[in-house]
């Protein structure tokens, strides 16, 4: 049952206003946000209001894309940066963010975390009016909307046209602007460093640069930072909050705080909830590193079963999902995690991971444990089964690719080769956050989608839709 995709981390954004080392701070910030995207990285900086924006972008990790010389070229006191995992538009250098354009309102740069559900529709509309797109990424829409002739409400009204998930940082010739969609799908927070303002996807980025965390940007809030200081606008229609609960389960770094709640604490509580819901009689609790670590700790504490980190992670290889083919991915799971066999031999083992998507990791872990002589293997997962697609910034849009969508619980157990299997339920997962349930998007577990989406969505929708419109118009792809 080889399934092709699994959820991936998503993008990270960072911005600085009013610091002499803006680009360097952004570089460090992106380093701390590297877990959110490893395909490409970029920084755009600006000196004063009349200077040309400078940019450096490339494919790969932050450490691969930037050399000291590149950072020296990125002068100025303002900067925005991005690490990408693509959700709309292919993973190519052309699609690396931030995007920079020259408009009749001056230079603009944008970096986006999330996914715009009406991007293809807006692009067709904008192209019909003459917009020329440089990339096939949904995020570019924002720049075109801002460059359009403005009616009532100016730039803020233009932003009201985008729908879906967006935590965005923008740089104009005078400002740094940060905003979150009205549902607040993705995180974005504000900090201060030496009197300068900084914005980051996650608070762990502030720790690295020793910035003080000020607060989270509210869902639907636009913060505008310029020489006059900082102010907020709330241009979007008020709606229910739908923060991505999977950020707490898997995406966010455990040392980040989101909405005042520490991510590692939530994961420990998820492990405790899981232990109460699906206890097991066992000798050891073993985490699947990295994301299973804190949940395994909670599981172990709740049942008083010793915690042993028997899987040793090799930190020097890329993430498993980067590899395109199933056979290479299986190999990568083995390269990434090696088992200390002596710990598990003749033992009844509970293995805790945060999630199962295709099942590659879990299956391979069970096989390894059995080969090492484990007497029993009980698989425990600290979130509910993934049965539905995500349209809000996670790259697993096709439910056919999700193991739990294709199999019953017993089939999953058999496929993994485990003695028992237990997933956390929706209620336990929400309780562990200590936040109200209606704060969250849980669509990939529950099928309850807070925002409508394009039924034809796939990663290449922008290219496909534009091509189809040309065909419908009987336009041949020739110029004259
Ligand atoms: O069912 P699968 O398709 O194998 O996907 C699920 C696995 O992927 C994630 O880990 P990842 O490899 O991203 O590493 P991490 O835990 O270190 O983040 C997740 O934590 C699971 O272990
Ligand atoms: N993962 C993300 O947040 C991706 C942002 C944007 N949709 C892109 O594909 O570049
Ligand atoms: S569908 Fe799942 S992964 Fe996507 S935003 Fe909602 S909770 Fe997060």
Kindly state the average pLDDT of the residues 68-96: 95
Nearest to 141 by CA among 157, 159, 129: 159
- How many angstroms separate the alpha carbon of residue 446 from the centre of ligand 1? 20
Name all residues whose Cβ lies below 6 A of ligand 1: 6, 250, 288, 290-291, 319-321, 353-362
Q: What percent of the chain has pLDDT over 70?
A: 90
Q: Which ligand is nearest to the CA of 36?
A: 2
Q: Which atom of ligand 2 is nearest to the CA of 88?
A: 9
More confident position, 335 or 278: 278
ipTM above 0.95, yes or no: yes
Rounded Cα gap, residues 99 and 218, in angstroms: 24
The CATH topology of domain 12-239 is 3.60.20
The dihedral over CA atoms of 137, 170, 141, 152, expressed in degrees to the nearest 10, equals 170
Q: Which of 43-57, 210-224, 460-474 has the highest mean pLDDT?
A: 210-224
Q: Which ligand is nearest to the CA of 357?
A: 1
- The bridge status of strand 54-59 relative to strand 376-381 is unpaired
Report whether 39 contacts 79 (CB < 8 A): no
Sorting pLDDT into bands at 50, 70 and 90, what band is 469?
A: low
Domain ranges within the chain, ordered by starting residue:
12-239, 264-434
The CATH topology of domain 264-434 is Rossmann fold (3.40.50)
CA distances from 149 to 130, 131, 153, 294, 315 (A): 12, 12, 11, 51, 50
Q: Which residues are annotated as a binding site for [4Fe-4S] cluster?
A: 244, 390, 441, 444
204 classed as catalytic: no
- pLDDT tens, position by position, 297-331: 999 999 999 999 999 988 776 554 444 455 555 66
Coil, helix or strand for 110? strand
Kindly tell me the burial class for residue 34, based on how many C-beta atoms sit within 10 Å of its own C-beta (0-12, 13-18, 19 or more). Answer: middle
Q: Record the tokens describing residue 205, joined without a space.
A: 């980025």
Sorting pLDDT into bands at 50, 70 and 90, what band is 384?
A: very high
Q: What is the overall mean pLDDT for the chain?
A: 91
CA distances from 467 to 122, 418, 454 (A): 14, 47, 17
Please name the helix (run of DSSP H) or strand (run of DSSP E) that holds residue 115, with its range, or none.
strand 106-116
Rounded Cα gap, residues 406 and 255, in angstroms: 34
Nearest to 425 by CA among 452, 404, 394: 404
- pLDDT tens, position by position, 157-200: 889 999 999 999 999 999 999 999 999 999 999 999 999 999 99
Helix, strand, coil % over all residues of the chain, rounded to 5: 35, 25, 40
Rounded Cα gap, residues 311 and 167, in angstroms: 35
- How many angstroms separate the alpha carbon of residue 7 from the centre of ligand 1? 8
* Segments of 335-475 assigned E as strands: 337-339, 348-353, 376-381, 420-423, 440-441
Q: What pLDDT is recorded for position 67?
A: 94
């Amino acid at each position: 049952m080889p399934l092709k995709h699994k959820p991936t981390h998503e993008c990270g954004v960072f911005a600085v206003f009013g610091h002499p080392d803006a680009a360097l701070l952004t570089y460090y910030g992106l380093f701390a946000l590297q877990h959110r995207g490893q395909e490409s990285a970029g920084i755009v900086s600006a000196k004063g209001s009349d200077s040309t924006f400078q940019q450096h972008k490339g494919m790969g990790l932050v450490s691969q894309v930037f050399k000291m010389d590149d950072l020296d070229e990125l002068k100025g006191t303002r900067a925005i940066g991005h690490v990408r995992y693509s959700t709309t538009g292919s993973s190519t250098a052309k699609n690396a963010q931030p995007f920079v354009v020259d408009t009749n309102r001056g230079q603009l740069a944008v970096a986006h975390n999330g996914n715009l559900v009406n991007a293809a529709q807006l692009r067709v509309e904008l192209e019909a009016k003459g917009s020329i797109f440089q990339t096939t990424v949904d995020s570019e829409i924002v720049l075109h909307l801002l460059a359009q002739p403005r009616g009532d409400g100016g730039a803020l009204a233009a932003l009201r046209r985008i729908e879906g998930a967006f935590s965005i940082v923008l740089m104009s010739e005078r400002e740094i602007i940060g905003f979150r969609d009205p549902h607040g799908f993705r995180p974005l927070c504000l900090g201060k460093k030496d009197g300068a303002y900084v914005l980051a996807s996650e608070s762990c980025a502030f720790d690295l640069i020793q910035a003080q965390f000020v607060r989270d940007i509210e869902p639907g809030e636009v913060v505008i930072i310029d020489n006059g200081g900082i102010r907020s606008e709330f241009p979007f229609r008020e709606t229910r909050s739908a923060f991505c609960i999977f950020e707490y389960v898997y995406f966010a770094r455990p040392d980040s705080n989101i909405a005042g709640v520490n991510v590692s604490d939530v994961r420990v509580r998820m492990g405790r909830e899981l232990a109460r819901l699906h206890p097991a009689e066992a000798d050891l609790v073993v985490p699947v590193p990295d994301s299973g670590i804190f949940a395994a700790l909670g599981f172990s504490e709740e049942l008083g079963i010793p915690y042993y980190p028997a899987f040793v992670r090799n930190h020097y290889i890329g993430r498993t999902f980067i590899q395109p083919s199933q056979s290479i991915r299986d190999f990568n799971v083995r390269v990434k995690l090696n088992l200390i066999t002596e710990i598990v031999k003749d033992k009844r083992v509970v293995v805790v991971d945060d999630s199962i998507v295709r099942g590659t990791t879990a299956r391979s872990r069970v096989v390894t444990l059995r080969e090492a002589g484990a007497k029993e293997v009980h698989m425990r997962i600290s979130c509910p089964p993934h049965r539905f697609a995500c349209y809000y910034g996670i790259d697993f849009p096709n439910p056919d690719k999700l193991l739990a969508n294709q199999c019953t619980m017993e089939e999953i157990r058999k496929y993994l080769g485990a003695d028992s299997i237990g997933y956390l339920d929706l209620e336990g997962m929400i309780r562990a956050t200590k936040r109200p349930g209606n704060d969250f998007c849980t669509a990939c577990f529950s099928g309850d989608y807070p925002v409508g989406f394009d039924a034809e969505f796939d990663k290449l929708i922008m290219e496909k839709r534009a091509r189809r419109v040309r065909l419908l118009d009987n336009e041949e792809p020739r110029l004259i």
